[in-house]
């Protein structure tokens, strides 16, 4: 029989010495007796609730449900806050602050007497930030995601938050939608709390959490306002107590096989390209050697089996009613490592339903998918030596092999000033290029990769063009957009050297992205390249630009890769002596 691990919290509360006295007295000051903290697992509830993040606004109720589960299982819950990242209101981009939140989460878990943690995340970057922090802290951890919001209804049709909005914005820009209708759309667009109801980044990350084995089976797709979301939270709270007693850590779950499963699932649901960055970063924290090439390898065998926007037509709520992510994983079973361990303490196989529930409407089989394999392409060439990505499942097939003259925008301000200029020299065959939008250049790598179609082309009926940038794209977006060009222009990448009129060649099936220039011309442009702009000199932005890695490495900080020290393994002297503040 395997012995149970010593609880980390014992180092704080069990000893009859001055530090133990001080720690217990601090808890008494908060209203908790010695009975609460001695001899039972202490479960931290890592809450990213915020009134400025509508995706996470219901987390106070979820935290209460987690607390019920912890108490019912014999543990003691302690809720703690971290910063929260909201896509709509946080500027210039939440990606700039993902690593900051990951640091907040990691240090809170590492430094406090938690035997296990339950992570509450929903909006796009809150989920990967919490997983990154938990992977580095390596204390038993389980995640509860917030669930998709109630779908909006506009003119009798269910709509998502982003995917449908981009269509309506183009209608408004080309004059086919009135301001009155646009105002009605705004009033209808956000009927509830919860994250985007299509397969944007938030829903993709929730799906990935289940694919990684970091939540209970069936937890990803339950709608935010469904009472079963609370039941999932309660069950995760109870499971966290058992994980503390078992000593089941993220390092045992976040294996290479788990990342293969998560990537396969991401591809099968038509997930967001943002998830590539996050998975690379989480893998770096977990010590798993994950590269862009692995995404390409798995894409070559994984078809689209979920019909959900933006790659399909339904919303995540319909996926839930069709059986949720367990049903999707059952369909994918031949492609998964079903012996991989999960937070249940059992394998992926143990959490799968008995049969695949394919209806051909929302869920399809591997033999008759909605789209064939290769829904994601990794492209390289003299324009992207370290790689770039394109979500081919949401692109125009005819544009996946294309060459045309570049129309180059120096940065976002340049693009905003010129893209609707009637004198802009652009045709449907042009390739729109945006630079200075990567991790360092923006900074923070904003979601600017879905460059708008110039108005004069919209009025001609053009709905898609090849667009290339070192930026990201919203998971709710679509179009033939080449993203994450690495190295970025601000890091000396060749994207900073191309000019208007250069012929850009995209061959997504062949994995190529090139510009037709001679080596002599490349060398001449390198010699005449303008000096890079001065980096930020103070605050977090200076830290970020000085240490952020490129997109092909997940944009984590170079000094955060790997795991932090476990306070429970520190020398006794850390707990000796008088406690600071006394």
d(CA 420, CA 87): 25
298-307 confidence digits (pLDDT tens): 999 999 999 9
Cβ neighbours of residue 168 under 8 Å, at least 6 residues apart? 177, 182, 185
Query: Domains plus CATH for the chain?
Result: 40-150+200-351 (3.40.50), 152-191 (no CATH), 377-527 (3.50.30.80)
Cα–Cα distances (Å) from 136 to 33, 132, 169, 258, in that order, read 31, 6, 41, 16
pTM of this prediction? 0.95
- pLDDT tens, position by position, 61-86: 999 999 999 999 999 999 999 999 99
In this predicted structure, the answer to whether residue 546 has a pLDDT above a threshold of 70 is yes
In this prediction, residue 470 has a pLDDT band, given cuts at 50, 70 and 90, of: very high
* Dist. CA 296–CA 374, nearest whole Å: 8
Burial of 31 (0-12, 13-18, 19+ CB in 10 A): exposed
Give the bridge partners for 506, in sequence order. Answer: 402, 513
Length of the chain: 582
Look at residue 575 in the predicted model and tell me its pLDDT: 54
- In the predicted model, what is the mean pLDDT of residues 410-437? 96
Token pair of 376 as six digits:
């994601």
User: Looking at the predicted structure, is the pLDDT value of residue 580 above 80?
Assistant: no
Tell me how many degrees the CA angle 428-403-501 measures, rounded to the nearest 5.
75
CA nearest to 482, candidates 370, 548, 402, 373: 402
Q: Which of 14, 8, 258 is nearest to 137 (CA)?
A: 8
- DSSP secondary structure of 57-115: TTHHHHHHHHHHHHHHTT-EEEEEE-----TTTSSS-THHHHHHHHHHHHHHHHHS--S
Cβ contact 125:133 at 8 Å: no
CA distance 552 to 556: 10
Q: Establish how many alpha carbons lie within 13 A of residue 306's alpha carbon, considering only the half-sphere containing its beta carbon.
A: 36
Mean pLDDT of 104-122: 97
């Amino acid at each position: 029989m395997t012995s149970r691990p010593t609880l980390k919290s014992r180092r704080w509360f069990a000893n009859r010495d001055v530090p133990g006295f001080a720690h217990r007295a601090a808890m008494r000051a908060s209203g908790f007796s010695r009975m609460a903290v001695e001899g039972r697992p202490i479960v931290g509830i890592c809450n990213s609730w915020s009134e400025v993040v509508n995706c996470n606004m219901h987390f106070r109720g979820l935290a209460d449900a987690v607390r019920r589960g912890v108490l019912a299982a014999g543990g003691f819950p302690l809720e703690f806050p971290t910063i929260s990242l909201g896509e709509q209101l946080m500027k210039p981009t939440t990606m700039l602050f993902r690593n900051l939140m990951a640091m907040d989460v990691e240090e809170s878990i590492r430094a406090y007497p938690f035997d296990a943690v339950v992570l509450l995340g929903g909006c796009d970057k809150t989920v990967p930030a919490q997983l990154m922090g938990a992977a580095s802290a390596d204390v038993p951890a389980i995640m509860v995601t917030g669930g998709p919001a109630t779908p909006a209804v506009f003119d009798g049709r269910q709509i998502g938050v982003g995917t449908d909005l981009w269509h309506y914005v183009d209608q408004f820009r080309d004059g086919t939608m009135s301001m009155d209708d646009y105002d009605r759309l705004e009033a209808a667009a956000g009927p509830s709390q919860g994250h985007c109801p299509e397969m944007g980044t938030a829903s993709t990350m929730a799906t990935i959490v289940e694919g990684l084995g970091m939540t209970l089976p069936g937890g990803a797709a339950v709608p935010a306002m469904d009472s079963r979301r609370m039941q999932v939270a309660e069950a995760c709270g109870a499971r966290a107590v058992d994980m503390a007693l078992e000593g089941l850590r993220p390092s045992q779950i976040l294996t290479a096989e788990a990342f293969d499963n998560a990537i396969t699932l991401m591809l099968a649901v038509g997930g967001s390209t943002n998830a590539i960055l996050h998975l690379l970063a989480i893998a770096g924290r977990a010590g798993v050697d994950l590269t862009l090439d692995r995404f390409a390898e798995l894409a070559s065998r994984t078809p689209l089996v979920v019909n959900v926007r933006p790659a399909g037509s339904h919303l995540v709520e319909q996926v839930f009613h069709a059986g949720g992510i367990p049903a999707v994983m059952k369909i994918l079973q031949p492609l998964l490592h079903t012996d991989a361990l999960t937070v249940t303490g059992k394998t992926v196989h143990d959490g799968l339903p008995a049969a695949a529930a394919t209806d051909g409407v929302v869920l399809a089989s591997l033999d008759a998918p909605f789209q064939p394999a290769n829904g994601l392409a990794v492209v390289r060439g003299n324009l992207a030596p370290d790689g770039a990505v394109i979500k081919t499942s949401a692109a125009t097939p005819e544009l996946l092999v294309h060459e045309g003259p570049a129309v180059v925008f120096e940065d976002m301000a340049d693009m905003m000033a010129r893209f609707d200029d009637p004198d802009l020299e652009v045709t449907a065959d042009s390739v729109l290029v945006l630079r200075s939008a990567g991790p360092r250049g923006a900074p923070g790598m904003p979601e600017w990769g879905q460059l708008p179609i110039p108005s004069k082309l919209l009025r001609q009926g053009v709905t898609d063009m090849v667009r290339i940038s070192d930026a990201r794209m919203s998971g709710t977006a679509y179009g033939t957009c080449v993203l994450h060009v690495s190295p970025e222009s601000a890091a000396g990448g060749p994207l900073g050297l191309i000019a208007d009129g250069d012929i850009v060649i995209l061959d997504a099936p062949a994995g190529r992205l090139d510009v037709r220039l001679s080596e002599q011309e490349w060398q001449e442009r390198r010699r005449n390249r303008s000096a890079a702009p001065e980096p930020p000199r103070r605050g977090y932005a200076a830290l970020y630009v000085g240490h952020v890695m490129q997109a092909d490495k997940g944009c984590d900080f170079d000094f955060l890769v790997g795991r932090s020290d476990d306070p429970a393994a520190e020398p006794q002297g850390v707990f000796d002596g008088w406690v600071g503040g006394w």
